[in-house]
Amino acid sequence: MEYYAGVDLGATNTRAAVADATATVIGAATRSTPQGPTGIAVTETVLSVVRDACEEAGIDPSSISVVGVGSIGPLDLAAGVIENPANLPDTIDRIPLSGPLKSLIGGDRVVLRNDADTGLLGERFYGEYAPDDMIYVTISSGVGAGVAVDGSLLSGWDGNAGEIGHMLVDPDGMMTCGCGRDGHWEAYCSGNNIPKYAQQLYEQHPMETDLPLSSTADTADVPFDAAELFAHAGTDPFADYVIERIGKWNAVGMANLVHTYAPLVINVGGAVALNNPELILDPINERLSEMVLTNVPDVQLTTLSGDVVVHGALASALLADGHTRPDNPEQFRK
């Protein structure tokens, strides 16, 4: 019997799942992603979580044929490592992945992809609806996409296709992105940047709020996070105003994706969307038909919840061995 493993390496949690050759998930495990001291600690956690999932599945890691990995970036695909991960502490400069995983399984088949491309593969292999033209968008610490056109995943020569978080949505460039450029989608809408955007909006439009904002605060150090802002929805006029503005920028970005790729559906995952589905998705769907000239797709929450990337990593491994989407994928999920 052949077995396959998938790993979702995120900034907060590292997850693994193991499937047999029918694509049925037979083991899974989760550990917290260490925040240091170095990248080796993260590598060790990846290996441990794969061992945990194998133990639950009752198999030895050496019986794994292929490991798929969906990871935070940036990735150096040739070296099989993450270099200077954007959303982990600065002491973590390099996380070796492919080499140590090959040693663990005693083989050389490790497929490394970014988490958004991996999420798309999860939807296409294990999701409820998998048309040839679809997009998976993650709204999390950052914003990214995996895009399928005519049934093909668009990766680009260096794997960086779909870096939509750095798409220009605001030509006036009120917000500066983490990448240093102005007006990028994720500078307004990612979990890391929403508090800074709220602070900037407050300086322009001070209004009644219970959030700890002041007109003299620095956007580098806003004393609340995105979750706290969303928790004030419906009771705090300023929070509602910020959420409305976030919806506008998300809709601009989604409309650009629709006109560029003509998807039949856009599935959205990532912690910001998963934790606030109506507050994120309703403002997008309300605006999209006014903004899109062509077919207006449904923008909906991923059908695989927080498991979308680990299922995508498994799909990545199964696809590498020629397996195809099961007829009734819900029966095969964990």
For Zn ion, which stretch binds (CB under 5 A), given 42-50, 81-89, 153-161, 173-181? Answer: 173-181
Residues 219, 242: Cα–Cα separation, whole Å? 15
Token pair 């077919």 in the structure block, residue: 295
Q: How far is the CB of 83 from Zn ion (least distance, A)?
A: 17
For Zn ion, which stretch binds (CB under 5 A), given 100-108, 126-134, 163-171, 302-310? Answer: 163-171
333: contact with Zn ion by CB under 5 A: no
* Nearer to Zn ion (CB atom), residue 20 or residue 182: 182
Q: How far is the CB of 192 from Zn ion (least distance, A)?
A: 12
* Nearer to Zn ion (CB atom), residue 177 or residue 310: 177
- Which of 166, 232, 311, 323 contacts Zn ion by CB under 5 A? 166
Q: How far is the CB of 169 from Zn ion (least distance, A)?
A: 11
Closest CA to 185 of 261, 254, 268, 262: 254
177: contact with Zn ion by CB under 5 A: yes
- Spell out the residues 6+ positions from residue 211 whose beta carbon is closer than 8 angstroms to its own: 198, 224, 228, 229, 232, 236, 238, 239
Q: How far is the CB of 187 from Zn ion (least distance, A)?
A: 6
Residue 301 belongs to what H/E stretch?
strand 298-301
196: contact with Zn ion by CB under 5 A: no
* Nearer to Zn ion (CB atom), residue 34 or residue 183: 183
Q: How far is the CB of 184 from Zn ion (least distance, A)?
A: 4
* CA dihedral sign, ordered 25, 87, 148, 265: positive
- Which of 184, 196, 311, 333 contacts Zn ion by CB under 5 A? 184
Nearest 5°: the CA angle 62, 65, 70 is 105
Nearest 5°: the CA angle 235, 274, 110 is 155
175: contact with Zn ion by CB under 5 A: no
Q: Which amino acid is at 232?
A: H
Instruction: Estimate to the nearest angstrom the gap between the alpha carbon of 314 and the chain centroid.
Output: 16
Q: Binding residues for Zn ion, per CB under 5 A?
A: 166, 177, 179, 181, 184
